[in-house]
Amino acid sequence: ETAKRLRFVPGLVYIDEGAVCGQSPAQREQNLAQMEALLQETGFPYYLALELPGSVLRRGPGAAGEPCPSYKVAVEGFIQQRRQEAADGDGDTSPAGLSTQHGPGGDPAAPRARLPAAALTAELLRLFEAAETLTAKEELLQMLRSHLILHTARTRGYAKVMTGESCTRVAVKLLTNLALGRGAFLAVDTGFVDSRHGDVTLVRPMREYMAKEIAFYNHFFGVPTVITPPLSTKRREKTSIHRLMESFLLGLQVDFPSTISTVYRTGEKLSAAPAEAGSELQRCLLCLCALDIAGGECWGRGAGAGDAVPTHHPSPRRPESIAAFIPLLCYSCRLTFKEMGSPAMLPPYVRAEAQHRSCRARMKEQIQEFLLEDDEEEPGAS
């Protein structure tokens, strides 16, 4: 009788966010050491932090990538790719202040994980300081984290990524994202399958378990945990939409114990829009979802420097101006972006990709009249 369970060898990824969460280098080292010990004990291959080239923002081919035969080959491939990109002029690529990769326990040649250069960490902290609200910081952190996970998966040859969001967290995320203007993407942001990237599929297998159940399980089975402080400041500040929504839902849950599961089940009814032929011009630069608003139109209040004029054509602008980025972003990423200070603070890989896309958009505009487009209009439409 064949086993009905999926058989695969999982790898584990840990991303150190200690720098933006206010930890000192000593605390982060200690944290990393603890995590590493924990990961080594599992016996699975694990990866601690990575650097990001611009290509992470491009949608991968639809077919699943071939898994790499061995770690050493994967490292070779990765190093080759990096050399190629350096030659292409992507330049310095490490935005998120995260350091070298580390292999599975048995590889003596792999270097021990170390914190990245202080200069990179300082850059990262400047980026987060420039974010004006805690909401923008949270969104930025999530964005960087998901880019890193995606990149790790791609370079290591993993076709699927599993994340551990609980039912509670999914319900909170659903309502939070609604408030953030991500209504169009609720299904990919909270559903079981998130296939926005094409070659790497994200799944959320824990989304049916309440946080309470997971906490009890961890306690009864002695699951080792490493606690890190959350993204916050010590000062009493206005909270973020994320925290507000969490308080709201958990507060309701106390008196109405079906709250979380009701929100979750309602979210389950949402299904993702069918995958569109995605040229990169139609995907958001930051969250990588299909753009839900056309061209350079800005809805809502026209706050922000020089970008209140609606336009349908990406006309040439200074590459680093806020206005140059706006057409590349979805509605909610535009809102976050406007609270993030100067675009010059953004990680190099993001700026490089933005420039690439702006160029392509301009080129396309110039040859527009010579292009044969698919006829998408219904007969009779003007």
Partner 1 sequence: GRAPNSAVRSFCFRGGAELLFDGVKKHQVTLPSQPEPWDIRNLLKWIKMNLLKERPELFMQGESVRPGILVLINDADWELMGELDYKLQDQDNVLFISTLHGG
Task: List residues binding partner 1 (CB under 8 A).
Answer: 168-169, 172, 211-212, 214-216, 219-220, 225, 227, 229-232, 234, 236, 239-240, 242-243, 246-247, 250-251, 253-254
Closest distance to partner 1 from the beta carbon of 135 (Å): 12
State the Cα–Cα distance between residues 109 and 116, nearest whole angstrom: 19
Closest distance to partner 1 from the beta carbon of 215 (Å): 5
Closest distance to partner 1 from the beta carbon of 172 (Å): 7
Closest distance to partner 1 from the beta carbon of 25 (Å): 18
Complex with partner 1: residue 179 or 215, whichever CB lies closer? 215
C-alpha separations of 326 from 95, 284, 306 in Å: 21, 10, 11
Complex with partner 1: residue 192 or 256, whichever CB lies closer? 256
State the Cα–Cα distance between residues 228 and 146, nearest whole angstrom: 18
Give me 181's structure tokens. Answer: 């203007």
Residue among 253, 274, 262 at smallest CA distance from 187: 274
Closest distance to partner 1 from the beta carbon of 231 (Å): 8
Give the H/E segment covering residue 202.
strand 201-203
State the Cα–Cα distance between residues 294 and 361, nearest whole angstrom: 13
Closest distance to partner 1 from the beta carbon of 50 (Å): 24
Do residues 258 and 72 lie in contact, with contact meaning Cβ atoms separated by under 8 Å? no
Complex with partner 1: residue 203 or 209, whichever CB lies closer? 209
C-alpha separations of 373 from 277, 364, 370, 376, 377 in Å: 13, 12, 9, 8, 11
C-alpha separations of 6 from 191, 284, 332 in Å: 20, 33, 37
Complex with partner 1: residue 56 or 144, whichever CB lies closer? 144
Complex with partner 1: residue 223 or 275, whichever CB lies closer? 223
